[in-house]
Structure 1
Amino acid sequence: MALMDNTMLGDLNERSREVFRQIVDAYVETGEPIGSRTIARRMSEKLSAATVRNVMSDLEDQGLLVAPHISAGRLPSEKGLRLFVNALMEVGDLPHAERDQLTKNCERAGYSLDEMLGEATSMLSGLSRCAGLVVAPKTDGLRLKQIEFVPLSPGKVLAVLVAQNGSVENRIVDVPANLPTSALTEAANYLNTQLAGKTLDDARLLVARERDRIQTELDVLSANLIDAGIATWAGGVKDSSLIIKGQSQLLENIATIEQLETVRRLFNVLEARDQMIELLDVTSDAEGVQIFIGTENKLFGGSGLSMVISPYQNAEGSIVGAIGVVGPTRINYARIIPLVDYTAKLVGRLIG
């Protein structure tokens, strides 16, 4: 792809590149076909509309522009957008204010993994004006490494469960207000002795099988605490699951019935969660942000929408999930790419 982009870019002189860049910028702003007069007014070099029209004709012959229906204007093709993203676009840094907003909101989202991921997805949707989506980590087959109970306030305890792959799950557990710290210590010691190296399914079976014996070895409160500590994690995300926020963003700027039907078809795909786990497969063999423009994204069946997505890693550097956005092909790639990149790194840091 890169070699093809460089070859195609080499075929464009500086004037053609500038005209093409202005067409893409105008398309991102309006979503409408752009005419030669509009581009001539936007150019830094003073050119006549006729000259711009000739350049646009050449770009269309190269497959970089298309003429929708009978409109006199032109739009960048998927091939053109790919060239722009790969070879012409300048990606800046995410503004510090947005970094701080993302970080603070995700850190304040609570101790639950799914709450943090939900907040990250909502923030991503709001800042990008696209639908945000995240594939949550699998916990099926996850093996426990260490368990701790941390007192928060009377009647509230934080259960911290660390897996052997480095992922951490935190849940708040309700306990009697007068529960002694020694009971928490006993419960953690027992669990670390009995459950280290075991999967969550193993842990649930062990607790169920030995509940009576636990209640005789420890006091009733500790047994309840053990049960609650395991149950809260087991009640979380068991298999890879999908969180989607901001689908309504896709309904903005719908101009035709055909576009509306496209978005409706996409909604049906977004609801098919078993299919959406394929998003993780898309990113599992690559690093960093990936961009799928229009029909490049086979998962959406040529819906004419784009997806910008990045994998995120656990503390051991293993890819455990993916987060990104889905929107029209005219999304602001230069702004959204660093937004997705930072969010993925933030999520990885918080789960680690």
Structure 2
Amino acid sequence: MVSVISELNDRSREIFRHIVDAYVETGEPIGSRTLSRRLGTTLSPATIRNVMADLEEVGLLFAPHTSAGRVPTEAGLRLFVDGLLEIGAISAQERQALDAQCAVRGRSLEQVLEEASSALSGLSGCAGLVMAPKREGALRQIEFIALGPNRALVVMVSTDGQVENRVLDLPLGLPPSALTTASNYLNARLTGQTLAETRAVVTAEMTAQRADLDSLTSRLVEQGLAVWAESEADRHDGYLIVRGQAHLLEDVTALGDLERIRGLFQALEAREGALRLLEAANAAEGVQIYIGAENPLFAQAGCSVVLAPYTNARDQIIGAIGVIGPTRLNYARIIPMVDYTAKLIGRILR
């Protein structure tokens, strides 16, 4: 593709850029006469038609139907993104909106990621998606905090700084001191161990009746361990958060028929689809752009994906965030937006 760029003269590049710009704006083919007016130069429609024919011959344009209009191919969009795109900067207003919506304020990691996905979807006009990290790290601390007569907040902190908050119902008749006893009991056994390892130790002790805990406190301990297990810990490969699917349905003309969109949603809900996203993010640093068939997960739906990895406190890639939309995405605006959001999540996780 680099060689194709070098073979284009200035006039061909300018015409091709305007064709892509028009496609991003409208999603419709553009003809030589309309393009001549847009260019505002002395180039005649006949001259532009000749250039468009040359661009079509090298696989950068195609005619979606019998009209004289042309749109860029996926290869043409890839050339545009790699060699001709002038990436803008995220605006101060967009930055403030993302900062405000992603602020932690005592929320769990999953809630922060859901907010980030929703914010990105709203600002980009696309479907936002987040590949959330798997829970396999060691735990550092667990605390039970009373919220009322029959409820408690379980706060679990992993060694890499991830925090998970869950609310659970307390056993009837549980004294306040049992919360402290349960926290001390678990913290004495979980430091540096994964949740599964901790659960095995606690289960063995309780089975052998070696734990100095009454029945009510034992139930609290069991519930506290199960809270995380039933949510994230059993999702060994992570999970996918998708927000703003309706944005895709608003642009059915660009994406194809509803059946293809339905297939995309099914693929996103599948675990293997989520894994492919994370693998794509791990392949290289920075923002990754997949146009149409470049990613098997989105090939059939005719979508583009802009994806960026985010890291934990140890600079390890643990997930990815991005957007899905039609191939006529406003790449110049969305690429810096996705990049900023991924870095914002990384800062929150520190």
Structure 2 length as normaliser, TM-score? 0.86
Q: 1:195 aligns with which of 178, 190, 194?
A: 190
Q: 1:60 aligns with which of 46, 56, 59?
A: 56
Deviation at 1:236, TM superposition (A): 2.4
Q: 1:259 aligns with which of 252, 257, 260?
A: 257
Could you list the per-position Cα deviations for residues 168-226 of structure 1 after superposition, in whole angstroms to 9, with x for gaps in the alignment? Answer: 333355669x976x766654443222111222122233344445999974677765654
Give unpaired runs (5+ residues) of structure 1. Answer: none
Count of residues in correspondence between the two structures: 346
For residues 66 and 115 of structure 1, the distance between their equivalents in structure 2, rounded to whole angstroms, comes to 43
Could you list the per-position Cα deviations for residues 45-87 of structure 1 after superposition, in whole angstroms to 9, with x for gaps in the alignment? Answer: 3422222222212211221111122121000111110011011
Q: Which amino acid in 2 is paired with 1:49?
A: P
The 5 A counterparts of 1:315-330 are: 315-330=313-328
Q: Which amino acid in 1 is paired with 2:197?
A: D
The two structures, once aligned, show a CA RMSD in angstroms of: 3.1
Q: 1:113 aligns with which of 109, 112, 122?
A: 109
Q: 2:7 aligns with which of 11, 14, 18?
A: 11
Deviation at 1:349, TM superposition (A): 2.5
Residues 226/255 of structure 1: CA separation in 2 closer, same or farther (3 Å cut): same
For residues 186 and 325 of structure 2, the distance between their equivalents in structure 1, rounded to whole angstroms, comes to 46
For residues 92 and 259 of structure 1, the distance between their equivalents in structure 2, rounded to whole angstroms, comes to 32
Residues 68/13 of structure 1: CA separation in 2 closer, same or farther (3 Å cut): same
Equivalent in the alignment of 1:293: 291
Q: Partner of 2:20: helix, strand, or coil?
A: helix
Equivalent in the alignment of 2:270: 272
Deviation at 1:44, TM superposition (A): 4.9
Structure 1 length as normaliser, TM-score? 0.85
Q: Identity of aligned pairs, percent?
A: 54
Residues 309/252 of structure 1: CA separation in 2 closer, same or farther (3 Å cut): same
Residues 109/339 of structure 1: CA separation in 2 closer, same or farther (3 Å cut): farther
For residues 219 and 172 of structure 1, the distance between their equivalents in structure 2, rounded to whole angstroms, comes to 22
Equivalent in the alignment of 1:233: 228
Residues 248/91 of structure 1: CA separation in 2 closer, same or farther (3 Å cut): same
Give unpaired runs (5+ residues) of structure 2. Answer: none
Residues 302/257 of structure 1: CA separation in 2 closer, same or farther (3 Å cut): closer
The answer to whether 1:31 aligns with 2:2 is no
Q: Partner of 1:347: helix, strand, or coil?
A: helix
The answer to whether 1:206 aligns with 2:195 is no
Q: Partner of 1:236: helix, strand, or coil?
A: helix
Q: Which amino acid in 2 is paired with 1:56?
A: M
The 5 A counterparts of 1:1-352 are: 4-5=1-2, 7-107=3-103, 111-139=107-135, 141-148=136-143, 159-172=154-167, 187-211=182-206, 217=212, 226-237=221-232, 238-239=234-235, 240-255=238-253, 258-352=256-350
For residues 317 and 209 of structure 2, the distance between their equivalents in structure 1, rounded to whole angstroms, comes to 37
Residues 77/324 of structure 1: CA separation in 2 closer, same or farther (3 Å cut): same
Q: Partner of 1:68: helix, strand, or coil?
A: coil
